[in-house]
């Protein structure tokens, strides 16, 4: 037998960082979960119990905190690139660093109509996610994204004229609830290295904001004929908004809400156009995926 692939590191490195503006006494906080996975000339640690090639995962955790202290942690694309570049530069036998950053939301409170200098709340489980692969001799491949953004519309969604055969019971519907939890991502053209990422640092927040706005806007405004078509249109708009993006991907669960027929109770109308009370379904769910490229 031989080792076909190997990467190792520390997952679920949770870190928080506060930036204090001395002049305005305003704090900005960031909270994230980092995963570091390294690849390189590490085969003998698996095959020969040769630990001399192992950078301990504990050391990776230490390094992550030190670099968070010594560098900006926002945007996550830049922090992931800084961290990954360190690992392949510091250790000559390490050739690829896979860095994942999941940024959690701390939204500033507004108190008496004013943004509060140091108070925040978790407005949803939505995350901003980044995967940066720093590859020696190649550059930095970055996928930015949004995950766990739960949305629902109470109308403006249809689904009809699909395959109807001896396996089909689903009726055509012209007015349905649409709910999904958005996992969206956009892959950048490869950056030549850390300097290139730093040069373009402003693009990351700008593109995340645009991608999030496009997702909300099309979700709300489209008379959606299917999840498939709406997610494709979102992808097209994100590609059009940022020429530095190579591909866009969406993975959308269709979180179903079933009508409840109450007609057995005194003829109560609660289906079709009279439907108001529904049963939200935790499972099964549709799952619609796409990747769109130039
Ligand atoms: O938008 C939808 N796409 C589908 O493929 C599907 N299948 N059942 N319901 C569906 N809704």
Given strand 245-254, what is the order of strands in its sheet?
8-21, 26-40, 94-104, 127-135, 139-153, 178-188, 245-254, 286-293
Distance 221 CA to ligand 1 centre (A): 19
Q: How many CB atoms lie within 10 A of CB 188?
A: 22
Cα–Cα distance, 40 to 92 (Å, whole number): 9
- Give yes or no: 104 in active site: no
Would you state the pLDDT for residue 227?
98
Would you state the pLDDT for residue 191?
98
Residue with tokens 């085969």: 43
* Contact of 73 with 17, CB cutoff 8 Å: yes
> How do residues 97-150 score in pLDDT, each as one tens digit?
999 999 999 999 999 999 999 999 999 999 999 999 999 999 999 999 999 999
254 lines ligand 1 (CB under 6 A): yes
Would you state the pLDDT for residue 80?
99
% residues pLDDT > 70 (the chain): 100
- Give yes or no: 107 in active site: no
Q: Which atom of ligand 1 is nearest to the CA of 226?
A: 1
Substitution site in 254, 281, 285 for ligand 1 pocket (most atoms within 8 Å of beta carbon): 254
Structure tokens at 22: 């001395």
Cα–Cα distance, 216 to 107 (Å, whole number): 18
Would you state the pLDDT for residue 6?
98
Would you state the pLDDT for residue 255?
98
Would you state the pLDDT for residue 17?
98
159 lines ligand 1 (CB under 6 A): yes
* Contact of 172 with 160, CB cutoff 8 Å: yes
Would you state the pLDDT for residue 280?
98
Structure tokens at 54: 């192992």
Residue ranges, the chain, pLDDT below 70: none
> How do residues 53-82 score in pLDDT, each as one tens digit?
999 999 999 999 999 999 999 999 999 999
Please tell me whether residue 144 adopts helix, strand or coil conformation. strand
To the nearest 10 degrees (0 to 180), the angle between helices 57-70 and 76-90 is 130
* Contact of 133 with 96, CB cutoff 8 Å: yes
Distance 14 CA to ligand 1 centre (A): 37
- Give yes or no: 215 in active site: no
What's the chain's average pLDDT? 98
Would you state the pLDDT for residue 134?
99
To the nearest 10 degrees (0 to 180), the angle between helices 201-221 and 76-90 is 140
* Sequence-distant (≥ 6) Cβ neighbours of residue 225 within 8 angstroms: 158, 159
Would you state the pLDDT for residue 46?
98
231 lines ligand 1 (CB under 6 A): no
Would you state the pLDDT for residue 86?
99
Please tell me whether residue 181 adopts helix, strand or coil conformation. strand
215 lines ligand 1 (CB under 6 A): no
Nearest Cα to Cα of residue 242 among 121, 142, 168: 142
Would you state the pLDDT for residue 278?
98
């Amino acid at each position: 037998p031989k080792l076909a692939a190997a990467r190792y590191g520390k997952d679920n490195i949770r870190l928080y960082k506060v930036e204090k503006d001395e002049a305005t006494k305003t704090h900005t906080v960031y909270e994230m979960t980092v995963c570091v996975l390294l690849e390189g000339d590490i085969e003998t640690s698996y095959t020969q119990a040769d630990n001399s090639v192992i950078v301990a995962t504990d050391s990776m955790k230490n390094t992550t905190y030190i670099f968070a202290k010594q560098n900006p942690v926002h945007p996550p694309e830049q922090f992931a690139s800084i961290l990954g570049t360190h690992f392949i530069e510091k250790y000559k036998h390490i050739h690829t660093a896979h860095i994942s950053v999941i940024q959690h939301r701390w939204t500033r409170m507004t108190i008496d109509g004013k943004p509060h200098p140091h108070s925040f709340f978790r407005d949803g489980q939505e995350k901003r996610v980044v995967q940066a692969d720093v590859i020696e001799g190649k550059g930095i491949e970055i996928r930015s994204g949004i995950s766990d953004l739960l949305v629902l519309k109470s109308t403006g969604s249809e689904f009809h004229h699909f395959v109807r055969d001896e396996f089909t019971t689903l009726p055509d519907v012209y007015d349905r609830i649409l709910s999904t939890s958005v996992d969206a991502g956009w892959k950048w053209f490869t950056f030549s290295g850390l300097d290139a990422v730093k040069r373009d640092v402003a693009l990351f927040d700008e593109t995340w904001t645009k991608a999030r706005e496009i997702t909300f806007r099309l979700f709300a405004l489209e008379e959606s004929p299917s999840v498939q078509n709406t997610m494709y249109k979102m992808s097209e708009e994100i590609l059009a908004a940022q020429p530095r993006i190579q591909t866009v991907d969406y993975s959308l669960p269709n979180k179903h809400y079933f009508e409840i027929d109450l007609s057995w109770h005194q003829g109560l109308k609660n289906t079709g156009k009279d439907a108001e009370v529904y049963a939200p379904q935790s499972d099964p769910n549709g799952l619609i995926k796409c990747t769109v490229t130039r």
